[in-house]
């Protein structure tokens, strides 16, 4: 009889346990970020809230297409990607909704948030001008516009025009200066190239000490990763590279930044849990994991920053408003390519 009682209890307990496991809160994050440190972010959120994070990784446009194909039955709760223009494309595709969070709006500056409230920046990467300190800072190079000056003929190293980083920079130029001036600028940059565009951002500033070029265009976090390396040769390279944050004069627009950003999926099956995750992303703890782990600038003012990034210097950032128009980005790419910047 005692055994029958135990079996009866087990018959009740096993389904109850299975049901409890099924009811354990979780969210599904569709992300185009591919950094190992992001796993620390998800683990920290789970420890703090008990909400598990499941991830689907792919290219941003692939993720948007997947969410649309899944329709109302999509398991996606949160969408994360790099590049503000891709975030804007997700918004235009109708896969996001307003996140409705005073926490986010209070902590992230307006210039780093979608004015419609559908997405916001979680980190920033500055696209800057780099030079070899031993060769000296190039005179007269203070703005992005100066890169087209004939005095820098044969001196610039930069990756291909069709990379999102360069498209975003040209989009910023187009918004600030107009089509004619941007086309003249792109032609000037193409004429000033030291070699045909090749490689990634690291390859541009690695070419400085050898004299292959005197000026490199690169994102800050690539140089930060070199400085964080334990290899003596990387540390020596970091110490040798100087950084110019363009367009810093009073009244100028500031240094162009692009972002990683996040939004709440329109058909989220767990919107409250997803909103807790989005708010966690702008906490000091999450900002430190994101910024220090991948050498990015925090989107939240005053959040912890890696000392190596701080050593590059302070700067005033341009907002992301110019990048919110995907049509402008397509136009910027056309301008660069017809101007000879391939």
Domain segments of the chain: what residues? Answer: 26-124+257-306, 125-255+319-338
- Does 21 have pLDDT greater than 70? no
**pTM for the complete prediction?**
0.89
Window from 18-32, 231-245, 296-310 with minimum mean pLDDT: 18-32
pLDDT at 14: 42
Q: Is the pLDDT of residue 260 over 70?
A: yes
Whether 2 shows a pLDDT value over 50: the answer reads no
Tell me how far CA of residue 273 lies from CA of 41, 49, 64, 76, 171, in angstroms. Answer: 15, 9, 21, 12, 35
Q: What mean pLDDT do residues 229-250 have?
A: 97
Q: Which CATH architecture has domain 26-124+257-306?
A: 3-Layer(aba) Sandwich (3.40)
In this prediction, residue 102 has a pLDDT band, given cuts at 50, 70 and 90, of very high
34 is in an annotated binding site: yes
Lowest mean pLDDT segment, chosen from 23-32, 154-163, 164-173, 247-256: 23-32
Q: Is residue 48 within a helix (H) or strand (E), and if so which, with residue range?
A: helix 37-49
Give the confidence band of 23 by pLDDT, cuts at 50, 70, 90. low
Per-residue pLDDT at 9 exceeds 70: no
User: Residue 13: pLDDT above 60?
Assistant: no
Does 225 belong to an annotated binding site?
Answer: no
In the predicted model, what is the mean pLDDT of residues 120-137? 97
**Above pLDDT 70, what percent of the chain?**
93
Judge contact between 157 and 211, C-beta under 8 A.
Answer: no
Mean pLDDT of the chain: 93
Record the tokens describing residue 261, joined without a space. Answer: 């950003």
pLDDT at 22 over 80: no
Name the CATH topology of 125-255+319-338.
Answer: D-Maltodextrin-Binding Protein; domain 2 (3.40.190)
Provide the pLDDT for residue 79.
98
How far lies 182's CA from each of 103, 179, 291, in Å? 38, 5, 32
SS3 313: coil
| Topology match between the domains 26-124+257-306 and 125-255+319-338 | yes
Length of the chain in terms of residues written = 342
Is pLDDT of 160 > 60? yes
């Amino acid at each position: 009889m005692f055994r029958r009682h135990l079996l009866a209890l087990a018959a009740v307990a096993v389904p109850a346990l299975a049901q409890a496991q099924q009811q354990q809160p979780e969210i599904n994050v569709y992300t185009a970020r591919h950094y190992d440190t992001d796993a620390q972010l998800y683990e920290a959120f789970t420890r703090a809230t008990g909400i598990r994070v499941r991830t689907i990784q792919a290219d941003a446009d692939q993720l948007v297409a997947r969410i649309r194909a899944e329709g109302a039955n999509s398991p996606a709760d949160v969408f994360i990607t790099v590049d503000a223009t891709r975030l804007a494309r997700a918004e235009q595709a109708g896969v996001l909704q307003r996140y409705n969070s005073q926490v986010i709006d209070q902590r992230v500056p307006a210039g780093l948030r979608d004015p419609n409230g559908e997405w916001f920046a979680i980190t920033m990467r500055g696209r800057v001008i780099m030079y070899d300190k031993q060769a000296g800072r190039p005179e007269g190079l203070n703005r992005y516009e100066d890169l087209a000056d004939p005095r820098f003929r044969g001196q610039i190293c930069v990756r291909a025009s069709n990379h999102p980083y360069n498209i975003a920079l040209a989009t910023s130029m187009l918004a600030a200066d107009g089509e004619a001036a941007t086309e003249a600028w792109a032609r000037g940059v193409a004429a000033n190239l030291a070699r045909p565009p090749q490689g990634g951002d690291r390859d541009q500033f690695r070419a400085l000490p050898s004299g292959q070029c005197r000026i490199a265009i690169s994102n800050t976090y690539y140089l930060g990763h070199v400085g964080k390396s334990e290899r003596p040769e990387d540390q020596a390279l970091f110490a040798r590279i100087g950084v110019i944050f363009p367009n810093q004069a009073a009244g100028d627009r500031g240094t162009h930044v692009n972002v990683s950003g996040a939004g709440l999926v329109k058909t989220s099956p767990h919107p409250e849990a997803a909103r807790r995750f989005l708010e966690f992303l702008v906490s000091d703890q999450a900002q430190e994991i994101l910024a220090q782990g991948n050498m990015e600038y925090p989107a939240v003012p005053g959040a912890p920053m890696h000392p190596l990034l701080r050593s590059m210097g302070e700067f005033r950032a341009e907002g992301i408003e110019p990048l919110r128009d995907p049509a402008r980005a397509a136009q910027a790419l056309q301008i660069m390519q017809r101007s000879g910047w391939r």
